[in-house]
Amino acid sequence: MFGGRLLDPIAVLAGVAAFAIFCALSGATYLVNDVRDREADRRHPLKQQRPIASGALSSRTAAVTALVLVAGAEGAAALVSPMLAAAAGVYVALQLLYSMVLKHVVILDVLVIAAGFVVRAIAGAVAVAVPIRPWLLICTTLLALFLALSKRRHELVLLGEGAANHRRILEEYSPYLLDQMIAVVTASTVIAYAVFAISPETAERLGTSRLGLTVPFVLYGIFRYLYLVHQRRAGGSPAALLMNDRPLLACVALWAATVVVLMYTPLGG
């Protein structure tokens, strides 16, 4: 969409292929992580229902499935683009490093989670053959940090005093500390997107000087997410939260529709 290739069938197909490839890679890394964390997940009020923790899926089957998914995804990525295959390899390596070591290092754990989203964004740009702009990296990093910190806060509040028994790294955090981090990242995300939206360079490159009209959607979306995290004690699964909260889903849809209108119709000039 922001690369100006939304109406290019070849780019759309490449983007869909990259989406499917990274769904497979994400699924594989989740399987590996769930195998490693199966004992801790059995003590979690929600994660104990996961297939591996509950015993519905054996660890051996999960491991074999993960290998098949990675091999298939890497092969498919190589058919799309060698650079996409490289990005996929970096993503898998990063996720395995996180699962084995970095998830136990305070602050670095959430930074690595955010880095995984940045690699996905880079892979998308590579797949549809558009330049990787600094704003893509900045906004993706900040938004991913916002989601990762909110997820940590949800875990900490949900598990209470038993948080450290489920995940050792949680004893290094407190709701107050996470709230301070979230506040910094929230403000930075809004400012970064606003500067990107009203930048003359953005207007020249994207062909519209009215992208600032989308800033209210970003503000509402972030505020709505914070409301759900703090007042509804949600945030454990950002994807589930997005798909199940109608106001948030409507906000994202309206934001995307507005960007399309501004960039791809005469109304946006």
Sorted by where each begins, the domain ranges of the chain are: 1-132, 133-269
pLDDT (mean) for 120-136: 93
Nearest to 137 by CA among 158, 160, 113, 121: 121
Among 36-45, 82-91, 97-106, the least confident range: 36-45
Nearest to 38 by CA among 25, 50, 24, 26: 50
d(CA 252, CA 242): 9
d(CA 163, CA 73): 35
DSSP letters along 1-23, please? -TTS-TT-HHHHHHHHHHHHHHH
What pLDDT score was predicted for residue 247? 95
Fold of 1-132: Tetracycline Repressor; domain 2 (1.10.357)
Residue tagged 């999960």 (tokens): 62
Query: pLDDT digit string (tens) for 100-109?
Result: 889 889 999 9
The pTM of this model reads 0.86
Among 13-27, 84-98, 123-137, 147-161, the least confident range: 147-161
d(CA 66, CA 24): 9
